[in-house]
Amino acid sequence: MIAKILEIFRSIQGEGKYAGLPQVFVRFFGCNMHCVWCDTPASIGDGKRNYQEIKGEELLRQVDALYEGCHSVSITGGEPLLQKDFLKSFCRALKLFKKKVYLDTNGTLPAALKEIIKDVDIIAMDIKLPSSTKQRAYWHEHKEFLRIARRKEVFIKTVISLDTHANEVLKAAQLVAAIDPGILFVLQPNYLDLKKGAVDRCVEYQKSCAKILKDVRILTQVHKFMKLR
């Protein structure tokens, strides 16, 4: 099978629970959302559509050449689950070669996750708040997605911008608490709003979320400060 891949590279994970650890990143092209603050617009088709079409065997070869000393392979995008048929065989192959699979996803495609979850180790799941993304709400999809994702290790991250509504943050926390209040919940200030008050918003929201969740953290995108991909 052939996948649409934007880039393959080695770097450190810059977000969430595993920030700072080395990974091989495989960035899949295409997304079913168009968040206003998207930090990888090339992956959703903004600008040049310069993705590569790569066969699974070649993609595995390139990953293997970069993998030594890495914690895992980050399957990211865009939204990688749009290419679930390719991922079914690719993730299985990664597991056969003793490589840990880290899926970074917008958490809106539960049916696709269900098809590949047996070969995924860690799921970094977004909860997309409509006041922040300027997209429609995905509460039902997020709920179903998390129910499937919790079969493996999963943590949540949600981007907080100056437009984020407090009631939506609380609704996201309640959604997680209803499934498992022990799941890590990361409030990630929008990098473009860091100096405009987004961190203060996160501090405020952390207090309310911590009343119903056991582990609520404020973590920014550390790779941005290091000027890494």
User: What six digits make up the tokens of 82?
Assistant: 């749009």
Per-domain residue ranges of the chain: 2-225
Give the separation between CA 126 and CA 128, rounded to whole angstroms.
6
pLDDT at 37: 80
CA distances from 34 to 30, 40, 106, 153 (A): 10, 10, 11, 27
Q: What per-residue string of b and e applies to 187-202 under the rule 16 or more CB within 10 Å gives b?
A: bbbbbebeeeebbebb
What does each of the 229 residues of the chain score in pLDDT, given as a tens digit? 899 999 999 999 999 999 999 999 999 999 999 898 888 888 776 656 689 999 999 999 999 999 999 999 999 999 999 999 999 999 999 999 999 999 999 999 999 999 999 999 999 999 999 999 999 999 999 999 999 999 999 999 999 999 999 999 999 999 999 999 999 999 999 988 888 999 999 999 999 999 999 999 999 999 887 888 7
Per-residue DSSP letters for 136-190? Answer: ---HHHHHHHHHHHTTSEEEEEEEE-TT--HHHHHHHHHHHHHH-TTS-EEEEE-
Give pTM, 2 decimals. Answer: 0.96
Spell out the CATH class of 2-225.
Answer: alpha beta
CB 164 within 8 A of CB 132: yes
pLDDT digits (tens, 9 = 90+) for 120-178: 999 999 999 999 999 999 999 999 999 999 999 999 999 999 999 999 999 999 999 99
- Positive/negative CA dihedral, 86, 91, 96, 99: positive
Please report the pLDDT score of residue 44 as a whole number. 75
pLDDT of residue 46: 62
Residue 223's pLDDT is 87
Could you tell me which residues come within 8 angstroms of residue 160 by beta carbon, excluding any fewer than 6 positions away? 132, 169, 187, 188, 189, 190, 198, 201, 202, 205
The C-alpha angle with vertex 73 and arms to 70 and 77, in degrees rounded to 5, equals 135
